[in-house]
Chains A and B, each alone.
Chain A
Amino acid sequence: MFLSRGASRVFLGILLTLLVPLTHAKESAEPLRTVRLALQWQPQSQFAGIYMAREQGIYRAYGLDVVLVHGNAERSALDRLQAGEVELATSVLSDALVAATAWPDATESESSGSGSALAQIAQLVQQSNLMLVAWKDMGVERPEDLDGMRVSVWPSIIFDAFFAARQVTPLLIPQYASINLFLKRGVAACAAMEYNEYHRILQAGVDPGRLTTFAMRDQNLGFPEDGLYATSRWVAQHPTIARAVREATLAGWIYARDHPEEAITVALREAQRAGVPANRPHERWMLSHLLNAIFVPGAPLVRAGILDPDAFSRTAQALFAAGRLTRIPSLTAFAPLEPP
């Protein structure tokens, strides 16, 4: 870590001190600004920072009343954003890029073709957690062994790129919310987030020794994941609010990093409220992996929330090469809040 825990608290303090007069003015002047935020998935500590920003009153301090809308298999967060049900949504970078160029709004904002229907407010997860998990006893030791095997994956150009690079042609089966098909040995391998599905497999009593894992970041396919998005139009209309969302969310994550057990407790409470099965060890595992991906060890804290231009470029290029992008939006159009 670039900053020690104590130093980061100081950093947070400075942030809040700078912002409090502003928010105070806003609070006294007008009521809290309500924004709706669609999360990609059911309550879990993947969103711990956001929960903590809300729980600790950080959003409120920024003059925000953030309403969280959890996603499910039926409707993604971007669907909700596109439908205008929410102002904000979380998404992995690749999905956001595809949406940014595919949505009709794109052409409206920019004429040069480098426009973006979506505007990133913050790039939270800097590192890839995507992986393939395979049964060792079904003969999968190397990527090549997947050839001809039944493999369930989420639709993702990353896996396509992986298979293409390895020149294997597995029998792909769409993967949805559960990993039960894998656990029931209906497939030789399945897609997994290291912070979630992989650990669920372990929690189903499967020892790591029985599994072969292929982490995408090790295959040179490590793209940034969760980010915070709004439509470009909304950001253009509410730049201050967007910035406040960005700062407050980051502050929430810093709080979660400094108070992980508290964050886990809140995540568990959210899960319980939503009737979603959850347990503390799994949430703890998830949070620690996410924190490592948000506050990348070795990288300066100020890099948190920032979209790395190289990573953006690599991701966009990969998507373009895979034919998922017809054009590549400019970084400034895609991430207008990034410092120059």
Chain B
Amino acid sequence: MTPAPELISRLFSRHSIRTRLLLWTVGLSSLVLAVVIGWNYQAMLHQLDADAQRRAAFIAEASADKIDTELGGICGLAHGIAYAVESQALGIAFEPLRTLMQKALLAYPQIYGIAIVLLPALKPTTWPDTAPYVYRGADGLNYANLTGKYRNYTGEDWFYLPRYLDQGTWSEPYRGSTGVMMVTYSAPIRLPHEDGAQFAGVVAIDIELGWLDQALAELPIGRHGYSLLMSHQGTYISHPIRSLILNESIFSIAEARGDPALRAIGQRMISGKPGLVPWENWATDEPSWLAWHPLETIGWTMGTVVPKAELYAEIRRFTQQETLVGLLGLALLVAAVWLVARSITRPVRALNAAATTLAAGDLDAALPAPRGHDEVAELTAAFASMRDHLRRYIADLAVTTAARERMNGELRIAHDIQMDLVPKTFPAFPERDDLDLFAVMEPAREVGGDFYDFFMLDADRLVIAIGDVSGKGVPAALFMAVTRSFLRSAFRVDDDPGRALTRVNDDLAESNEACMFVTLFCAVVSLSDGWVAYANAGHNPPLIVTPGGHAWIGKPFGPAAGALSGSFYASGGFQLFPESMLLLYTDGVTEAMNPVNQLYGNERLAERLETYHTLDCRDCLDALLVDIRVHADGTEQSDDITMLTLKRITPGTDREPDLTLDIVSRTDDLNAALDQVEALLEERDSAPRLVYAVRLVMEELLTNTIKYGYDDAALHRIRVAFTLGSPATLRIEDDGHPFDPTAQVPDVALDAPVAERPIGGLGLNMVRSQTASLTYRRDAGINRLDIVF
């Protein structure tokens, strides 16, 4: 389930700011309004309820007091007459008494009649009647003797009660002969007696209660309220339900309803203490308040019923007005919020549109003008400022980009120069099968000054060169081009590498105002015999790898070319045998860095080349490049990586030999064979040096085999296969003792004096000097020696 806050935020975030502002404002304001109205309603309800209770109680009390006052006066009148009679000890004359009664009747309009009733035995002799009664008739005051109507009047409440209660007494209300409800107050007449006061009779005043209903109806108890009056016994004296009057008491109703709570309320009401209870209007079932107050004089209870609904109506009216005002305020609030929201969202929307236009690349789109000094205005201003900055930045960027384009153009030119200058077509000499040559140059990001070159000086000699110009870029590239030109032209004049370098150095230094220089290694390789003449102007020593190991071509070594004219460069030389590999390289190889700034190094280069040298040149360089990249491990290449490998190939192994001779191990046969070979060579117009060399080699090696190769005296067959070509090759196969002529004498010993040479090695040394390479293999009891001239 989604948590509520998230839900709300999701709900609201979907809408626009204006909608959200409106929703929140209206929602919260409505909530506050509802709470305030509800609270007011409750508070008012409470207040008005309390007021209603007070009003009900107040009306009850005030009415009770009013009725009390009315009736109290009558009580006083009754007692006054009684005192008058008493004071004269019944000696009062009848007529004045009757006049008194008539006057009282005239003075008190609510009195219906006044009677002075004595015990029969106490009737004064002067009185004509025992119970004179003056009362109102249709046409004035009437007179009667009550004994005519009430033979047993002593048993009537109006006589009986004051007699035995010995005090003025109110009768229970009753309906008089006129049909009007009446009540009688009787004051006892007491005569002094030796045993204390003695009851003599009563002054009874009948009061019509018609005015009570009138008075109660005039009470301000609201339209649906009413008042009631009940006797001391709970009997209704006044009630809007007329049938209850005098017939029912609150107790009879409680009994009829089986409502003990009502009976309890009735008991409280007639208890003589004021009170108030929630009530239900019997006529309308409305919830109401019933308050009551005792009438002290008469012992009755005055009650008022004030319906709550009337209060509620008042509250409802007020609440409706309040709600109306609140809603009006809410509407105003909504309008205000809407305006404010619009003042925010309009510029924001304009900004949004402008931003979209900007994003599309139109920096000249019109922006909304900032108005005022609020946040939106600030935002608009900031947006304009951003646009201006953006515009400037883009202008700057265009300039910078142009500059960089230009620079990149230069770099590309330099790169093109560099790449154009080095020969890139491989195999370099497809018509020749006696060499394998391959070169690579991987320029760094900015153009360096590496270059390599190779070209045939004549049919047999190959010039190879590698160099590294100081500096970078176009000047370096140009310097390189110049160097290459000078180098090529120098070799046309003189084929000695040392002298060529000397000349190049002087030529370069002559017009080198930029003081640039170049390290340069060049060599002239005689492909026929494998002799390599070389010179080095400050370049990394090349590496040569043979099946037996590796060697650095260290000396001679001269200073870098181009810096200083007049430098002398000596030439060196060495024999490059077939199966050996020569590697020229620049410092970009050995100084390739890895992420922790370790150099690739000479040792690793030598070790790797020993492993790879049996491959052909292209594969070997590819393997080396891979290894260098592995070493660099993503580190950016800082310098050009340039490498050139050269390998001599012994041709003829695949060719059908021009001459194959099977000879026996005799010197005569040897000589005959030599003659046959010599004849072939001459027939083919071979170089005299080759004829000499072939004869010397065959003579030396075959003599050696015949002399030392066998233990027995038997004749053994020796096969000699000669192939003419460039170069010429010779294969000798015999089944004599294993003998490896290549292992006998290291060629470095050549420079040693003759006296120091090992005994028996002279012949072999001669052989070596005349051959380009010797390759020995023992195979199934056969010695096989391949000789390249």
Contacts and interface: CB of A to CB of B under 8 A. Distances in A.
A281 B235 CA distance: 14
Contact of A203 (B157, B164, B174, B255): B255
Q: With a 10 A CB-CB cut-off, give which of B151, B157, B174 has the most chain A CB atoms.
A: B157
A9 interface: no
Contacts of A280: 252, 256
Given A180-B172, A275-B175, A277-B246, A205 B155 contact: no
B263 interface: yes
A11 B169 CA distance: 53
A186 B166 CA distance: 9
Contacts of B351: none
Interface in A176-204: 176-178, 180-181, 183-184, 186-187, 202-204
Interface in B232-249: 232-235, 246-249
A186 B175 contact: no
A36 to B, nearest CB: 21
B247 A186 contact: no
B247 A73 contact: no
A340 B165 CA distance: 53
Given A183-B232, A204-B249, A281 B164 contact: no
B235 A277 contact: yes
Contacts of B255: 202-203, 281
B88 interface: no
Contacts of A277: 174-175, 235, 246-247
A75 B155 CA distance: 12
Contact of A205 (B156, B161, B172, B233): B233
B160 interface: yes
B270 interface: yes
Interface in A196-242: 202-205, 207
A74 B149 CA distance: 9
A176 B250 CA distance: 25
Contacts, number: 80
Given A180-B161, A275-B175, A205 B252 contact: no
A184 B167 CA distance: 11
Q: Name, among A74, A177, A184, A207, the residue most crowded by chain B CB atoms within 10 Å (CB to CB).
A: A184
Nearest to A185: B165
A40 B130 CA distance: 28
Contacts of A173: 164
A186 B266 CA distance: 22
A339 interface: no
B164 A178 contact: no
Size category, B interface:
20 to 34
Contacts of A303: none
A180 B157 contact: yes
Contacts of B249: 203-205, 279
Contacts of B179: 275
A174 interface: yes
Contacts of B546: none
A279 B254 CA distance: 12
Given A205-B266, A281-B252, A187 B233 contact: no
Contacts of A275: 175, 179
A282 to B, nearest CB: 6
A73 B246 CA distance: 19
B204 to A, nearest CB: 15
Contacts of B248: 279
A337 to B, nearest CB: 33
Interface in B114-170: 150-152, 155-157, 160-161, 164-165, 169
B161 to A, nearest CB: 6
Contacts of A74: 150-152
A20 interface: no
B267 interface: yes
A178 B155 CA distance: 9
A202 B251 contact: yes
B155 A174 contact: yes
Given A173-B164, A203-B249, A277-B235, A184 B169 contact: yes
A181 B160 contact: yes
Interface string A120-149: 000000000000000000000000000000
Contacts of B156: 73, 176
A205 B270 contact: yes
Contacts of A168: none
Contacts of B169: 184
A318 interface: no
Given A203-B255, A205-B266, A278 B172 contact: no
A204 B233 contact: yes
Contact of B233 (A177, A183, A186, A282): A183
A278 B246 CA distance: 8
A5 B2 CA distance: 74
A195 to B, nearest CB: 14
A176 B155 contact: yes
Nearest to A281: B255
B540 to A, nearest CB: 134
A207 B270 CA distance: 13
Contacts of B267: 205, 207
B166 to A, nearest CB: 9
Contacts of B266: 205
Pick the most buried of A180, A204, A205, A282: most chain B CB atoms within 10 A of its CB. A205
B252 A203 contact: yes
Nearest to A177: B155
Contacts of B252: 203, 279-282
A177 B161 CA distance: 12
Interface string B557-581: 0000000000000000000000000
B247 A281 contact: no
A49 to B, nearest CB: 23
A183 B155 CA distance: 16
Given A174-B155, A205-B234, A280-B256, A186 B161 contact: yes
Interface string A272-305: 0001011111100000000000000000000000
Contacts of B232: 183-184, 204
A185 to B, nearest CB: 9
B234 A181 contact: no
Interface string A304-335: 00000000000000000000000000000000
B164 A186 contact: yes
Contacts of B151: 74-75
B251 A205 contact: yes
Given A181-B164, A277-B246, A204 B152 contact: no
A278 B233 contact: no
Contacts of A282: 252
Nearest to A283: B252
A176 B157 CA distance: 9
A166 B757 CA distance: 180
A184 B255 CA distance: 22
A260 to B, nearest CB: 14
A203 B234 CA distance: 8
B688 to A, nearest CB: 168
A82 to B, nearest CB: 15
A187 B270 contact: no
Given A74-B151, A74-B152, A204-B251, A181 B165 contact: yes
Contact of A184 (B161, B234, B250, B256): B161
A280 B150 CA distance: 29
B156 to A, nearest CB: 7
A187 to B, nearest CB: 7
Given A180-B171, A205-B250, A205-B266, 6 more contacts: A178-B172, A186-B165, A203-B234, A204-B235, A205-B249, A278-B247
13 contacts: A74-B152, A178-B157, A181-B164, A183-B232, A187-B164, A203-B252, A204-B251, A205-B263, A275-B175, A275-B179, A277-B174, A277-B235, A279-B247
Query: 6 tightest A-B contacts by CB?
Result: A176-B155, A204-B233, A281-B255, A279-B252, A277-B246, A186-B165
Interface of B: 150-152, 155-157, 160-161, 164-165, 169, 171-172, 174-175, 179, 232-235, 246-252, 255-256, 263, 266-267, 270
